[in-house]
């Protein structure tokens, strides 16, 4: 959403419904930058998207992912991926324009991308926000001493979609 919001705000055309390939290349560039910025001493880091997600978006559009993306996805080396089941309430917005059927196809293609790459998936069921947070934190904290639950609280990010 971040890149779409930024592009819409400046009246740009680097949008997934205008040019999937150019948009996904920008997503990959941004994701790689964000992942490089994670401090090396950080034992756990959460991101709402991972590099292999781009493969799912390409496949859902019937496109072949570029080699640069495939290589980056293989090299990402995620130790664990939380794969969130989609919520039953689906709403189109100014940035979420896919039909429900297409959103489900994207969702499944993203899952397949991670599976094809051999990343371990923890399937997070469709639960209320606080329960999803607790589910993720309980799985993330299974490595003793890595994650402390104090100070963790669920929050909802505001979106440019309103």
Closest of 77, 73, 71, 80 to residue 54, by C-alpha: 73
The pLDDT tens digits for 76-107 are 988 889 999 988 888 888 888 888 899 999 99
Of the listed ranges 64-78, 105-119, 146-160, the one predicted with least confidence:
146-160
pTM across the whole model: 0.81
DSSP 34-49: HHHTS-TT-S----S-
Residue 69's pLDDT band, with cuts at 50, 70 and 90, is very high
Which pLDDT belongs to residue 151?
37
């Amino acid at each position: 959403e971040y890149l779409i919001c930024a592009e819409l705000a400046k009246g740009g055309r680097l949008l997934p419904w205008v040019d999937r390939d150019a948009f996904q290349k920008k997503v990959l560039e941004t994701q790689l930058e964000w992942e490089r910025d994670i401090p090396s001493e950080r034992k756990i880091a959460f991101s709402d998207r991972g590099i292999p997600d781009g493969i799912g978006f390409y496949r859902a559009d019937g496109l072949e992912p570029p080699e640069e993306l495939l290589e980056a996805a293989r090299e990402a080396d995620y130790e664990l991926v939380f794969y969130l089941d989609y919520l039953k309430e689906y709403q189109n917005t100014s940035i979420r324009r896919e039909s429900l059927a297409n959103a489900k196809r994207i969702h499944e293609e993203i899952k397949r991308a991670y599976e094809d790459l051999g990343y371990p998936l923890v399937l997070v069921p469709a639960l209320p926000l606080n329960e999803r947070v607790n589910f993720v934190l309980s799985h993330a904290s299974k490595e003793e001493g890595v994650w402390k639950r104090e100070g963790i609280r669920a929050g909802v990010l505001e979106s440019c979609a309103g």
